[in-house]
Structure 1
Amino acid sequence: MRIQVLGPVRAWLGDVPVELAPAGRRAVLGLLAMAGGQPLSQAELIDALWADRPPQSAANIIQTHVKHLRRMLEPGRTSRSHSARLPRVGDGYALRVSADNLDLLRFRQLLAEAATARQNGDPRAAAELFAEALGQWHGAPLMDVPLLAGHPKVVALAEERRAALGRYGELMITLGAVSEALPALEEAAAAQPLDEAGQARLIRAYAAAGRRAKAFATFHDTRRRLADELGVDPGPALTAAHADLLREPGDADAAPAPAARPAPPAPARPTPAQLPADVPGFTGREEELAALDLLVTEDDEQLTAVVISAVSGMAGVGKTALAVRWAHRARPRFPDGQLYVNLRGYDTEQPMTPEDALAGFLRALGMASGDIPAARDERAAAYRSLLDGRRMLVVLDNAASVDQLRPLLPGTASCAVVITSRDTLPGLVARHGAGRLVVPLLPRDEALILITRLIGDRVRDDPAAADDLIGRCARLPLALRVAAELAAGRPGVPLRDLVAELADEGRRLELLNAGGDPQTGVRAVFSWSYRQLSPAAARAFRLLGLTPGPDIAGYSAAALLGTGVAEAGDLLEVLARAHLVQQAAADRFTLHDLLRAYAVNLNAEIGDGDGAAALDRLFDATLFTAAEAMDTLYPAEQHRRARVDRPESPVPPVGDGAGAQSWLDRERAGLVALVAHAATHGRPGHAVRLTLALLRYLESGGHYPEAVAMHEHAVRAARLSGDLAAEAQLLTNVAVMDVQQGHYEQADGLLRRAVELARSCGDHAAEARALGNLGHVDQWRGRYDEAAERLQEALALCRLTGDRAAEARALGNLGQVYRRQGRDEQAAAYLSEAVRICRRIGDPVGEGYALVSLGDVARRQRDVRRAVRCHRAALEIFRRTNERAGTALALDGLGASTHDTVFLREALEIFRQLGERAGETRATNSLGEVLTTTGQPKHGRDEHLAALALAREIGDRYEWGRAHAGLARVAETLGDADAAGRHWAQAWSRYAEIGAPEAEEIRSIIDRRQSSGTTPH
């Protein structure tokens, strides 16, 4: 017996075809075949065949189909004997067939063999296996069973084939046999005209085949299609293919014909250059540098795995200096750039998370903040994709564990990774094949060369004292530099006297550290240098050690020290010259973790309370600057944030919106650390207020890991201080972020808890906000009656407290719910009242959002003039107040009302920049509808398919149903009655799930089609 599902569903006994007859029977066989031998329950089969409207006899129909299939596939079996091919398993069935006799299993088996051949370095064998695998296909999967065309497994099968086509094409290009792969690549590109990776493969294939004019034409066609239909420029894959094409020489007769419109120059891929400055006066380490050189050789093109080197050693031994020195020497080998991050693995407060490191790398590689995924695995996948095929060096400094590192490892053999850590990272060596390099203490002769360079003749005049100094510094480069700087600053003092002072200090520290500390000598060097500082500089060093973040800027240092900015800058320069702080970037300074620990110990020893006051100043100044930045970026929301008094300490001017955004981006890691420190060191008010102030920035920028971390600390602080109202507000914030990521169940639980907390402390405002968001969650989940009930409760509380702004928001949300239910008159009444209140209290942004919803209601009522009037008024408000999300919503409504794609493309671009996935889904569907209405159904189909994918991803069932309805209209326009029927059924199902009024309208369409015979019953 042989079965085929990659194409029409077919079966053979030997060479004799089996007549499977009705579509339902072929559907049952196809579903069981796709299960790959695993059983399917009756419920699963019923759901696949009839979705939400199974007939009462559904189980009997399936049993009949199975009975006939058994008879056809096992003709010699008696009616009462056990079926070997289609046995009953539980309340369902399984299809027992070997991989050789089912094309789907054979296809997957061949792909696995091809992957193994490729991994083993045999690309020709891999290509042959890919070709054989693709030869299993005879059309779209289950192509003669249209009712399963939208089934997730069928859609996934088509994606498997497209991915295999891409891998096969890449191999054939590599093997120089591209002409054999061109038909398959052309087919894949034609099926997915907006798939940039597929178009890029086709361009490279055309170039390899000598068809450069065709390659250029394909690029320009794709670029125009992306601009016209999505309003975006080519991405990295397409841009790289075009750049390669431009670099290739071509014959005069193969030159591309000039485009109708001159193409703008392709945006160059960013070439990051993130390495810190090389260490001045670097000495020795030639053996270690040579060992690193061996990792990346000039003829390393045949590498099949990422080159990783784990550089380990004790604190202060010079691991970072070695890695940075080698990285600068190796830069020519990595023309695509160098990435660097300090993971702060041994920071006492806040090591860097892999999510934050990935976000930084993605931005450096050209990804917009709004496009950075929230989940760690998705960020890691995007990072690997952007590095694919590029020759880049990645330096991961100061790592604590393998878990911190794994997401940051590239997936392409053209990259190299250098890691520094105090740990030897055995898991990295065992699992990832990392080369290990342990950095020993600086050899005595190299240590002597170093201090001779730094101190000069006094070393040569008294070699015994120099040797003693090297021993006192434990041959650690960090300690040697600190000691040498002190000696250089006291040129008249003999070296022997300085070493004697160091010995005395060392004995004192040894007495203070009972049990002996192997690094007592190092601390003695620090203390020796520290004692030479002026009182102001010594105090500055002690206080800088208390800084919670990874580094500190000039204004923050001034606040911490209680000085002016200029004086703080002078003190930082003094400490930098003494090697007690390091300049990390312009106006940013950091402490080596050994020096930070020493400074913290000094504060504990002195115990004068100056540290607590310094941190209070730092927190106050940071909170005020954060509030100023938020008011600048989001002026329409000032009334929702608590006012913060200007501190006496100097604060940086945030300037315009760009300046405010830049300050927040620079300080983000430090802000997270500040909240964590405040929550755990007796400053719960600062933790709560700073977190509440920053919510909108973190939310709109997609910085969910940082937002979650800050809120976890702030919630803990609120609980410890017994601030139930703050806890309720913070839980509501977390729920809002969960909603934006589609985590509705999680958000529901948090909001219910927030309501309880607010009620227990009698905070009606917090209760109203939590109830309003509960209603919002119910609306997203299609529970409109529950949503209306929650929002009515919130409205009553807002009126009780006299909060007119909150009352207007509740009215607006109620209007949206009633609009979704088709209660247009009621919706318009609530929304009009919201507009009146907003105008009365001077809330233009609230007025704009209510006007957008009023315009949507008018459009539903086919009152186009009123709809346009509302959307234009909202657009004017939003542009005046710089409310970008509202601007996009108004543009969407205006474009949908006037059938103008220019408005819709502008809305899409804004939503994408903001990372507003719900708005992007709405605008994409609107664009699809307008394109279909204006005679461009194929382009409309592409937009609805994109909206469908987005809606599924974020769980927006309303836009999900809207996308299917749009696809149904496209299919009808193109004369594909079967596809139209399938999409009308899917649209009805989605709308009916959430009780949307559109369900009734679509039910009527389906009934009319069935009665006219257009759609099978």
Structure 2
Amino acid sequence: MSGPGEHTDGAWGGRNEIGGSAQIWGASVQAAEIRGGIHVHQAPQARPPVPRQLLSVPAHFTDRDADIAALEELRDARRTSVPQLVVVSGPAGVGKTALVSHWLRGIAEEYPDGQLYADLGAQGPDRPLRPGEVLDAFLRALGVGLVPVQLAEQAALWRSVSAGLRLAVMIDNALSAAQVRPLLNGAPGSLFVVSSRRRLTGLITDGAGFHQVDALDPAAALELLARGGGGSRVEQDPEAARQVVSQCAFLPLAVCLAAARLAARPRQPVAAMAAALTRGRGPLELLRVEGESAVHTALDESYALLPPDAARAYRLLGLLPLTHYDPQLTAAVCAVSLDEAERLLDILMDGNLLQDVGPDTYRFHDLVRLHAAGRAKEEPAPARRAALRHFLDWCLATATAAEALLTPSHRTLARDYDGRTVQPTPLPDQETALAWLDARRLDLMAAVRLSAGSGHDDATAWQLVDAMWPLFLRLRPYGLWAEAHGLGLDAARRHGDRKGEGRMLTSGGNGLCHTGRYEEAVEWFGQALRLAEEDGDVRQQAQALNGLGKAHRGAGDLVRAEEYHQQALDRRESIGHTRGAALSRYALGELALERGAWHTAASLLAHAHTTLRAESDPYDAARALAHLGRATACAGDPAAGSRQLAAALEEFQRLGSVHWEARTWELLGQCAEDGGEPASARRSYERARALYEPLSPSDTGRLTGRLRHMDAGAGPG
């Protein structure tokens, strides 16, 4: 697979062998004897699964009929020309998330294109999510492969992809109207529901309707207490039960915690619970704003009921800068077996301290997480340091295992973690590895920020960024790419690791190139080159020179780009770096193709293709073959060029590289247009544009321009 700086895509095959014959899903090309045209056989395209991201509703969800009626009234009052926007506000622990989840689940069939969910993290352990990070997640959920880096481009693509769709979008824990506004798509068939502790009146200009959620009425609170664990004891001692729900400020979260404690102590009278909650704190009027004190009191009682090992797990999970937890993570942080971790999570679930939000995935309510973080201070300092060390080591170990599967040719630098004490999450194959990196991307970034900000984990910070290379290379989270490498570079320099510094400069420089920041990329690659020259590291010098060539080419300076790529080739050949030399020839072949030096391009690309196949690098070999096909056709043999392009297209379909499948269709269109086959060219361009559309606005625009030129009777220049 590709090393730093080389483009690759992250998906898998569309081919199967049945009865000795190959079946291919997606577009296919027949290429035997071709005279100008390409025969396109269009198969139905597989659509990603409809997203169903809403949180589950608590089993003892109670009352709220009036709230749901009010929300329905707001929905009925919407203008049909714009999407509906509803803001649900209320104090902490009042049940905003449960209410909205219950409502949206009840009307899910009216939004058949999916339900999306985002927790903006206004009260989270890390910084609140940026709008671009949320749009990235939304677009990927709808099947978009490569998401642009600029917020304006992300928002434009979000509007394009979701136009005509009927989506229900839940935006939880919002901090401000500015955080929400870029997430609105303008599609009239969609419904957006925002929850916040604040009223977010700034969204009134966006057509929002507003609903304030209040605490439960006393009767509903008593019903919740009974259904959640109090049972008949609530009827047997109604006065004590009223005291319990009163001390819980009638907040669902606090009442559920009290009910869980009653369920765990079936012989305890409700009066004992009432006394425990009061503990001399005074009447309800003395509770602090938003009921947080009431919840804190209930949490104290629930925590006191935990067995020592579960209480320790609660404290240690509260240390982490995360919002979601799973058994493997818990096992690592608590230094216990996987079976033991699952048992501890079950205990916390039974006490209503954790919420089940998906297969083997749990989360704390905001107030519970804050309580756990406060209790974590009771852990001795060495134990806290050990738990955080285990967390960081687990992240680094698992990311390194994913890196080995996904980019085996990527030279692995130092990894400072103790493999004897932390076991990585099992990753049996590439698909699982990439899915883990994708699902954990924000957690991994939180680990990078934690290690970089702690002052003594600089090695972990840059090593973790390095191990995340397949995530950056394949999934292109451009914002995280830049932030991660900035943190990693500073950490490597503080750590005094020159190899790490060089790796951060070249890997980060590639991220800058992909976002069009070519001047900054030149500076980063230049620093990497100077560092490698001082250290006498020829391989790293070649890597930096290759990056300089890429950056100058992106900036439009093809002469300097060729000079740098030639220098990189010379150094790679001097040390016998065969695959690296092939990649340099590929870059030089692309430049020759741009200059119109067809025969030179064909020679370089043919050499690169042969070598990369021998080096077991099918992806880069297919890239070389696609450009070789274009060069061969331009050099005077269109039939041979079309066969080479057809073979490259089949390989990209097998590898699942949608971007390069689209690029190859575009090259096929250019060849057909050059050969005087406008109908064939149009079909190829339209196919390329359809593939580009969910991936890249700039490429989509280029293909649209080509087709317009054809319509006007002028070639695309």
Category of TM-score, reference length = shorter chain: 0.7 to 0.9
**Which of 169, 175, 186 is the equivalent residue of 1:400?**
175
**Which of 851, 856, 860 is the equivalent residue of 2:600?**
860
> CA separation in 1, counterparts of 2:93 and 2:389?
31
1:350–1:549: 8 Å Cα contact kept in structure 2?
A: no
> Residues 633-670 of structure 1: CA distance to partner in whole angstroms, max 9, x if unpaired?
22232557869763422322201111212222222221
Q: Which runs of 5+ in 1 are unaligned?
A: 1-225, 232-259, 825-855, 987-1017
> CA separation in 2, counterparts of 1:816 and 1:450?
67
2:73 corresponds in structure 1 to 294
Task: Report the secondary structure of 1:340's partner residue.
Answer: strand
* TM-superposed deviation, 1:622: 1.8
> Residues 234-280 of structure 1: CA distance to partner in whole angstroms, max 9, x if unpaired?
xxxxxxxxxxxxxxxxxxxxxxxxxx999856766853322222221
**Which of 614, 619, 624 is the equivalent residue of 1:889?**
624
2:114 corresponds in structure 1 to 337
> Residues 600-644 of structure 1: CA distance to partner in whole angstroms, max 9, x if unpaired?
111224434212101211211221111111111222325578697
> CA separation in 2, counterparts of 1:442 and 1:426?
24
> CA separation in 1, counterparts of 2:565 and 2:601?
24
> CA separation in 2, counterparts of 1:871 and 1:813?
8
1:635 corresponds in structure 2 to 408
> CA separation in 2, counterparts of 1:623 and 1:435?
45
> CA separation in 1, counterparts of 2:461 and 2:412?
20
> CA separation in 1, counterparts of 2:325 and 2:103?
27
1:576 corresponds in structure 2 to 349
* TM-superposed deviation, 1:943: 5.8
- Whether 1:877 aligns to 2:650 is no
* TM-superposed deviation, 1:544: 0.9
> CA separation in 2, counterparts of 1:487 and 1:542?
22
Letter in 1 for 2:183: L
1:520/1:753 CA distance change after superposition, 3 Å? same
Letter in 1 for 2:75: V
1:384 corresponds in structure 2 to 159
Letter in 2 for 1:581: L
**Which of 391, 399, 405 is the equivalent residue of 1:626?**
399
2:62 corresponds in structure 1 to 283
1:492 corresponds in structure 2 to 267
Q: CA RMSD in A?
A: 4.3
Write out aligned runs for 1:491-640 (5 A).
Answer: 491-504=266-279, 519-638=292-411
Write out aligned runs for 1:711-726 (5 A).
Answer: 711-721=485-495, 723=497, 726=500
> CA separation in 2, counterparts of 1:944 and 1:264?
17
> CA separation in 1, counterparts of 2:50 and 2:630?
38
2:139 corresponds in structure 1 to 362
* TM-superposed deviation, 1:566: 0.6
2:586–2:608: 8 Å Cα contact kept in structure 1?
A: no
2:586–2:624: 8 Å Cα contact kept in structure 1?
A: no
- Whether 1:746 aligns to 2:520 is yes
> CA separation in 1, counterparts of 2:69 and 2:421?
54
- Whether 1:679 aligns to 2:452 is yes
1:391/1:771 CA distance change after superposition, 3 Å? closer
RCO (CA 8 Å, sep 6+): is it higher in 1 or 2? Answer: 2
> CA separation in 1, counterparts of 2:627 and 2:414?
29
> Residues 286-327 of structure 1: CA distance to partner in whole angstroms, max 9, x if unpaired?
221111011223x97x62222111011121111001101111
Larger fraction in helix: 1
**Which of 266, 273, 276 is the equivalent residue of 2:52?**
273
Q: Percent identity?
A: 30
2:87–2:195: 8 Å Cα contact kept in structure 1?
A: yes
1:696 corresponds in structure 2 to 470
**Which of 409, 416, 429 is the equivalent residue of 1:656?**
429
1:762/1:305 CA distance change after superposition, 3 Å? same
1:871–1:894: 8 Å Cα contact kept in structure 2?
A: no
* TM-superposed deviation, 1:338: 2.1
Letter in 1 for 2:105: H
Letter in 1 for 2:444: L
2:93–2:251: 8 Å Cα contact kept in structure 1?
A: yes
2:552–2:558: 8 Å Cα contact kept in structure 1?
A: yes
1:877/1:321 CA distance change after superposition, 3 Å? same
> CA separation in 1, counterparts of 2:370 and 2:166?
38
1:401/1:762 CA distance change after superposition, 3 Å? farther
* TM-superposed deviation, 1:349: 1.0
Task: Report the secondary structure of 1:655's partner residue.
Answer: coil
> CA separation in 1, counterparts of 2:64 and 2:304?
31
**TM-score with structure 2 length normalisation?**
0.81
* TM-superposed deviation, 1:536: 0.4
1:406/1:763 CA distance change after superposition, 3 Å? farther
Write out aligned runs for 1:435-446 (5 A).
Answer: 435-446=209-220
> CA separation in 1, counterparts of 2:570 and 2:45?
56
> Residues 429-479 of structure 1: CA distance to partner in whole angstroms, max 9, x if unpaired?
2x2121111111222222112112221122222222212212222222111
1:747/1:288 CA distance change after superposition, 3 Å? same
1:887/1:637 CA distance change after superposition, 3 Å? farther
Letter in 2 for 1:310: V
**Which of 736, 758, 772 is the equivalent residue of 2:510?**
736
* TM-superposed deviation, 1:422: 1.1
> CA separation in 1, counterparts of 2:589 and 2:329?
50
**Which of 809, 814, 817 is the equivalent residue of 2:580?**
809
Q: Which runs of 5+ in 2 are unaligned?
A: 1-25, 32-38, 633-638
2:222–2:242: 8 Å Cα contact kept in structure 1?
A: yes
* TM-superposed deviation, 1:561: 0.7
2:589–2:601: 8 Å Cα contact kept in structure 1?
A: no
1:559–1:650: 8 Å Cα contact kept in structure 2?
A: yes
1:758–1:764: 8 Å Cα contact kept in structure 2?
A: yes
1:468/1:911 CA distance change after superposition, 3 Å? same
**TM-score with structure 1 length normalisation?**
0.58
> CA separation in 2, counterparts of 1:303 and 1:230?
47
> Residues 31-61 of structure 1: CA distance to partner in whole angstroms, max 9, x if unpaired?
xxxxxxxxxxxxxxxxxxxxxxxxxxxxxxx
> CA separation in 2, counterparts of 1:967 and 1:349?
47
1:819–1:857: 8 Å Cα contact kept in structure 2?
A: no
1:688–1:714: 8 Å Cα contact kept in structure 2?
A: yes
Task: Report the secondary structure of 1:282's partner residue.
Answer: coil
Letter in 2 for 1:382: L
- Whether 1:412 aligns to 2:187 is yes
Task: Report the secondary structure of 2:118's partner residue.
Answer: strand
1:629–1:654: 8 Å Cα contact kept in structure 2?
A: yes
1:147 corresponds in structure 2 to none
Write out aligned runs for 1:157-176 (5 A).
Answer: none
2:35 corresponds in structure 1 to none
> CA separation in 2, counterparts of 1:387 and 1:867?
40
1:273/1:612 CA distance change after superposition, 3 Å? same
1:374 corresponds in structure 2 to 149
Larger mean CA deviation between 312-321 and 519-528 belongs to: 519-528
> Residues 541-564 of structure 1: CA distance to partner in whole angstroms, max 9, x if unpaired?
001112223212211110011000
1:733/1:637 CA distance change after superposition, 3 Å? closer
* TM-superposed deviation, 1:717: 3.0
2:123 corresponds in structure 1 to 346
* TM-superposed deviation, 1:402: 1.8
1:809/1:262 CA distance change after superposition, 3 Å? closer
1:305/1:776 CA distance change after superposition, 3 Å? closer
2:90 corresponds in structure 1 to 313
> CA separation in 2, counterparts of 1:811 and 1:227?
29
> CA separation in 2, counterparts of 1:421 and 1:724?
46
Task: Report the secondary structure of 1:636's partner residue.
Answer: coil
